[in-house]
């Protein structure tokens, strides 16, 4: 089976890391790498949401830039790439991403997220269906406790490390203020942001 534009979704275990990626940062890459190594994932696909529904009240960088930055963040990383499997029309719901992925592959799906996102799962669209379609892979963040307030069957993998103590919101603010961001984002992402003038004060 195949995904969007000839993407290779073959294998027994496939990881997915969805998000806005505005911008992607080192924590995203470290989470994916740890999950791939520990869980034996054949590949991890990063899926920048075309229309993140939880960002309606704030501006979001154009999808083309977020996709390009995500691809730059994964340069030189083995077994990781960007997918275009999400629909470009309508809100980008995680459950629809997982449905598209399940149509593209017979592999077991592992959805990678931080504990802060996990805490919001009950408010997501069709949380029980999300839990049916994948195993959730949860990474710690900001000493947040992991709780699953959703009825029904669930498969969880909870990591103790690496702890993700950086956020895209903080990184955008740092770029806007001209503050140092060394190490927060991959060098290729910082270079892309500079070339395209992203996150400057309007």
Q: Name, in order, each residue with C-beta under 8 angstroms of 172's C-beta and a sequence gap of 6 or more.
A: 22, 23, 199
Range 139-150 average pLDDT = 64
The predicted pLDDT at position 1 comes to 44
Higher pLDDT, 150 or 80: 80
Structure tokens belonging to residue 40: 């034996």
Q: What is the pLDDT of residue 151?
A: 58
Comparing 26-35, 38-47, 48-57, 122-131, the range with the smallest average pLDDT is 48-57
Residues of the chain with pLDDT > 70, as a percent, come to 89
In the predicted structure, residue 156 carries a pLDDT above the cut 90 = no
pLDDT surpassing 90 at residue 86 = yes
Is pLDDT larger for residue 161 or for residue 64? 64
3-state helix, strand, coil in the chain (%, to 5): 40, 15, 45
Mean pLDDT of the chain: 88
Please give the pLDDT value at position 136: 94
Q: What is the pLDDT of residue 146?
A: 55
Whether the CB-CB separation of 125 and 133 falls below 8 Å is answered with: no
Confidence of residue 64 (pLDDT cuts 50, 70, 90): very high
**What is the reported pTM?**
0.84
Q: What is the pLDDT of residue 153?
A: 62
**178 contacts: CB under 8 Å, gap ≥ 6:** none
Burial (CB count within 10 angstroms: exposed 0-12, middle 13-18, buried 19+), residue 84: middle
């Amino acid at each position: 089976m195949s995904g969007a534009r000839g993407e290779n979704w073959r294998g027994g275990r496939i990881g997915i890391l969805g998000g806005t990626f505005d911008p992607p940062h080192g924590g995203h890459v470290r989470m994916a790498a740890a999950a791939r190594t520990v869980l034996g994932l054949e590949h991890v696909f990063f899926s920048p949401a075309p229309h993140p529904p939880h960002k309606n009240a704030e501006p979001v960088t154009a999808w083309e830039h977020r996709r390009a930055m995500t691809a730059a963040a994964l340069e030189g990383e083995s077994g990781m790439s960007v997918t275009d499997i999400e629909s470009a029309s309508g809100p980008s719901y995680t459950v629809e991403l997982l449905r598209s992925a399940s149509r593209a592959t017979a592999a077991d799906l592992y959805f990678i997220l931080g504990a802060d996102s996990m805490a919001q799962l009950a408010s997501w669209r069709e949380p029980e269906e999300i839990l049916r379609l994948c195993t959730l892979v949860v990474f710690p963040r900001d000493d947040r406790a992991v709780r699953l307030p959703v009825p029904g069957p669930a498969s969880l993998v909870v990591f103790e490390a690496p702890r993700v103590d950086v956020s895209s919101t903080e990184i955008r603010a740092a770029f806007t203020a001209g503050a140092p961001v060394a190490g927060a984002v991959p060098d290729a992402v910082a270079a892309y942001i500079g070339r395209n003038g992203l996150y400057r004060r309007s």
